[in-house]
């Protein structure tokens, strides 16, 4: 339980849900969408099994109106609410810390419209990303982002965390693709910024406040997002290299040759690959004794990428920049290559517990922290220390896998990793957000003035602080 690991953390002075509240909630969402008892357990625990609260109730509204009625009531009563999408978040933001009522968006899963001319999709927040991907693909479009958690994460959660993922290098961040959204504020008011047109410079763009707000400013209920046309040609290459310097030289060559067609450039070190082989049973498609691997995806409307990739890789092999490679241009084969990269988080979790660091660093210093942490943890009981991630975007996932959570290991890594990151002016959370687990480290990426301004915004929109309490802002626990 979170309260055992953070004993000094105090529950806020929120109302405790009573039987009148239960009747009210049941009346709004219906008996089938009001969850209590044993079934609530899985909603209390995050994907990493790193934090868990003890909420007794989960509400699954189907409409914006229901969300509004719930929040209006909670606001008046002073009941704290934890907002949960697919619960794949990696910073403990999606689960309660104490007994907050869980509002799950899972039943808000309707696609509202898709405009084939503009490529604009409008949907409810609880739509699972993979379902949206399949839907727009049938219309000749793609979603402008992709994550390993696509089968479970929801688009509302993606916006709330400003998820990055595997295609950011080509299509940019969600801040650019999201045209509009609807959100319910803490007091139940419905903020309608659901623009579906591209341009609008009429004052502040309030939608940006909610993208990356991790459920602390409002509940996102509807989304309008710009989908790009599906590229006519896609290929993926799985490449092995002997050193990180070679990885950087290769990245520079790929960018020069393929610039606008580069849709992913993912790094995996040998420890990450071994973890997938050992714990999931997926084989490395090339020589599995190399130090580094990259997965390069190219996508374009011109067949040039398929014609030139082989020749390009052969040249790189001849110059010994890379040591081994395989290319796929058929969807199922491409997917097989992606499976290796996408299974790294799950494979590491199979060791028992994972300390996850999602940081940005300059390319020149990108990988240095990984061997440094390995040396630092040498004498401790650690199963794996590995580095992987979205190298194209300067985003490293440094993961330390152990059999269980251990305070000695935790304090050997934190705040060391954040001090290191801050030294290079990197972000301590490139794409996962701050949530509960990273809140006390916010200062490494945000100045006092920034945090102060963020607090003012929060306090103004949610003066009773009922929405996702204990998240983002530093709390009173020193652990």
Q: List residues binding ligand FAD (CB under 6 A).
A: 47, 83-90, 93-94, 105, 125, 147-149, 153-154, 156-158, 160-161, 163-166, 214-215, 219-220, 345-346, 431-432, 435, 468, 471
CB of 128 to ligand FAD, least distance (A): 8
Closest distance of CB 403 from ligand FAD, Å: 20
- At 58, is the secondary structure helix, strand, or coil? strand
The Cβ of residue 462 has, within 10 Å, a number of other Cβ atoms equal to 20
Q: Least distance in Å: CB of 268 to ligand FAD?
A: 13
Residue with Cβ nearer ligand FAD (93 or 144):
93
Q: CB nearer to ligand FAD: give 163 or 321.
A: 163
Closest separation in Å from C-beta 471 to ligand FAD: 6
Angstrom distance (rounded) from CA 142 to CA 139: 9
Q: Shortest gap between Cβ of 93 and ligand FAD (angstroms)?
A: 3
- Would you say 89 or 240 has its CB closer to ligand FAD? 89
CB nearer to ligand FAD: give 438 or 464. Answer: 438
**CA–CA gap between residue 67 and residue 126 (Å, rounded):** 12
Parallel, antiparallel or unpaired: strands 292-300 and 233-241: antiparallel
For β-strands 57-59 and 101-104, DSSP reports them as: parallel
Q: How far apart are CA 241 and CA 258, in angstroms?
A: 19
Residue placing its CB nearer to ligand FAD in the complex, 155 or 334? 155
Q: CB atoms < 10 A from the CB of 41, how many?
A: 11
Sign of the four-CA dihedral 119, 124, 129, 135: negative
- Nearer to ligand FAD (CB atom), residue 123 or residue 412: 123
Choice between 94 and 261, CB closer to ligand FAD: 94
Q: For the purposes of burial, counting CB atoms within 10 Å of the CB of 187, is it exposed (0-12), middle (13-18) or buried (19 or more)?
A: middle
Shortest spacing between CB 299 and ligand FAD, in angstroms:
17
Which DSSP letter does residue 92 get?
A: S
Distance from C-alpha of 184 to C-alpha of 220, rounded to nearest angstrom: 6
| Least distance between ligand FAD and beta carbon 215 (Å) | 3
Find the shortest distance in angstroms from Cβ 168 to ligand FAD.
8
Q: Which residue is nearest to ligand FAD (CB)?
A: 157
CB atoms within 10 A of CB 410: 15
For residues 360 and 410, is the Cβ–Cβ distance under 8 A? no
Instruction: Tell me whether residue 90 or residue 369 sits nearer to ligand FAD (CB atom).
Output: 90
Residues 452 and 461: their CA atoms lie apart, in Å, by: 14
């Amino acid at each position: 339980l979170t309260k055992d690991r953070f004993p000094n953390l105090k529950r806020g002075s929120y109302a405790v849900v009573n039987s009148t509240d239960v009747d009210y909630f049941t009346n709004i969402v219906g008996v089938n969408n009001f969850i209590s008892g044993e079934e609530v357990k899985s909603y209390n625990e995050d994907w990493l099994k790193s934090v868990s609260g003890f909420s007794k109730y989960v509400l699954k509204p189907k409409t914006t109106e229901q969300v509004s009625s719930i929040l209006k009531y909670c606001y008046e009563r002073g009941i704290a609410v934890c907002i949960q999408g697919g619960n794949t978040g990696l910073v403990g933001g999606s689960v309660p810390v104490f007994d907050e009522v869980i509002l799950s968006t899972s039943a808000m899963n309707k696609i509202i419209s898709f405009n084939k001319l503009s490529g604009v999709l409008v949907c409810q927040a609880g739509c699972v990303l993979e379902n949206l991907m399949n839907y727009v693909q049938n219309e000749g479009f793609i979603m402008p982002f992709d994550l390993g958690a696509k089968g479970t994460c929801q688009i509302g959660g993606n916006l709330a965390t400003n998820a990055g993922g595997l295609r950011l290098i080509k299509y940019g961040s969600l801040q650019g693709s999201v045209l509009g959204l609807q959100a319910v504020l803490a007091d139940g008011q419905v903020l309608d910024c659901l623009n579906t047109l591209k341009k609008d410079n009429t004052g502040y763009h309030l939608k940006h406040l909610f993208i990356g707000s991790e459920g602390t400013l409002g509940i996102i209920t509807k989304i309008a997002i710009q989908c790009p046309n599906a590229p006519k040609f896609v290929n993926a290459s799985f490449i092995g290299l002997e050193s990180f310097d070679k990885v950087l030289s290769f990245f520079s060559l790929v960018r020069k040759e393929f610039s606008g067609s580069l849709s992913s450039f993912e790094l995996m070190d040998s420890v990450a690959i071994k973890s997938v082989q050992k714990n999931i049973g997926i084989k490395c498609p090339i020589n599995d004794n190399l130090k580094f691997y990259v997965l390069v995806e190219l996508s374009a409307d011109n067949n040039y990428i398929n014609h030139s990739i082989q020749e390009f890789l052969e040249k790189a092999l001849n110059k010994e920049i890379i040591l081994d490679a395989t290319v796929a241009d058929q969807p199922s084969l491409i997917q097989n290559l992606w499976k290796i990269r996408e299974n790294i988080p799950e494979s590491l979790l199979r060791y028992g517990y994972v300390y996850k660091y999602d940081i940005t660093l300059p390319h020149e210093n990108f990988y240095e922290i990984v061997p440094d942490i390995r040396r630092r943890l040498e004498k401790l009981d650690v199963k794996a220390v590995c580095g992987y991630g979205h190298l194209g975007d300067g985003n490293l996932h440094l993961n330390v896998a152990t059999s269980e959570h251990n305070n000695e290991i935790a304090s050997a890594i934190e705040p060391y990793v954040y001090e290191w990151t801050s030294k290079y002016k990197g972000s301590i959370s490139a794409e996962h957000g701050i949530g509960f687990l990273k809140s006390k480290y916010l200062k490494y990426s945000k100045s006092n003035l920034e945090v102060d301004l963020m607090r003012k915004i929060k306090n103004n929109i949610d003066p009773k602080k009922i929405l996702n309490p204990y998240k983002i802002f530093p709390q009173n626990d020193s652990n």
